[in-house]
Chain A
Amino acid sequence: MYTGKVEGTVVATVKSPGLEGIPLLVVRVIENGKEKGRIIAADSTRQAGTGDFVYLIGSREAGRMFRKPLVPADAAIVGFIDDYNEEL
C-alpha cells in the first residue's frame, strides 16, 4: 500500500455503472516523503476529506475493497494514518 494526501473531490455523473455511489477523491501520492503526481482514488472509508493523510491500495485490490462485483477502480483509499514512524 502507498501513502497520499487528499486534495479534492471529483464529481462525474456520466460514468461506468460500477462506479455508481463510490466517492472519488483527488489524491496527491506521497512516496518516500516526496510529493508525486495526482491520482483519482475511490474512497472505501467514505470518510476522507481534503487534507487527510491516507494510505491506498492499488490494482485489482482497489475494486475488491467495495465487496461488490465489477467495481472498476485501480486505486482506493483504505484508511487514515494516525502515526507514520519511519527511520530515515
Chain B
Amino acid sequence: MRIAKVVGNVVSTVKDVSYEGYKLLIIENLDGSGKREIAFDAADAGVGDTVLLIADGGGSTIVLDDKEVVADITICGVIDHYTIGDETVPC
C-alpha cells in the first residue's frame, strides 16, 4: 500500500465503459518520489486529503467491488494521521 496526497481531479467523458461513474483523482505519492498519478476513488476523498492507495489490479477490484472495472491504483482510505517512530505526522 502507499500513502499519497490528493492534488486534483480528472474529467473524462470518453473512456472504457467500465469506468462510468467513478471519480478519477490526481494523487501525489508521498514516498519521496513526488510522482503524480491518476487513481480511482473508493473512499470519497477530496483534494487536500492524505489517502491510502492500493496499487494492484486485483486489490482494486476488491476495493471497488466491481468485477468489470480494470483499475490499477485505487484510493481505499483517508488517513487521519500516521506515526513514524515516535513522530506523529498530521494529515
CB-based contact B35/A78 at 8 Å: no
CB-based contact A61/B70 at 8 Å: yes
Cα A57 to Cα B26 in complex, Å, equals 14
The answer to the question of A47 belonging to the interface, with a C-beta cut-off of 8 Å to chain B, is yes
B19 CB to nearest chain A CB (Å): 6
Number of interface residues of B (CB under 8 A): 25
Binary B-proximity of A66-79 (CB < 8 A = 1, otherwise 0): 00000000000011
Cα A83 to Cα B9 in complex, Å, equals 8
Binary A-proximity of B48-76 (CB < 8 A = 1, otherwise 0): 00000000010000000000001111000
The answer to the question of B23 belonging to the interface, with a C-beta cut-off of 8 Å to chain A, is no
24 CB contacts below 8 A, A to B, read A1-B38, A1-B72, A3-B38, A31-B35, A44-B16, A45-B14, A58-B72, A59-B57, A61-B57, A61-B71, A65-B70, A78-B15, A78-B16, A79-B19, A80-B12, A80-B15, A81-B10, A81-B11, A82-B11, A84-B10, A85-B8, A85-B10, A86-B26, A87-B47
Task: Report which B residues bind A (CB closer than 8 A).
Answer: 7-16, 19, 24, 26, 34-39, 47, 57, 70-73
Residues of A within 8 A of B71 (CB): 1, 57, 61
CB-contact partner of A61 in B12, B38, B72, under 8 A: B72
Residues of A within 8 A of B19 (CB): 78-79
Interface size on A, as a range, is 20 to 34
Residues of B within 8 A of A47 (CB): 14
A76 CB to nearest chain B CB (Å): 9
Could you list 8 further interchain pairs (A-B, Cβ under 8 angstroms) beyond the known A1-B72, A86-B26?
Answer: A45-B14, A57-B70, A59-B72, A64-B57, A79-B16, A81-B11, A86-B7, A86-B36
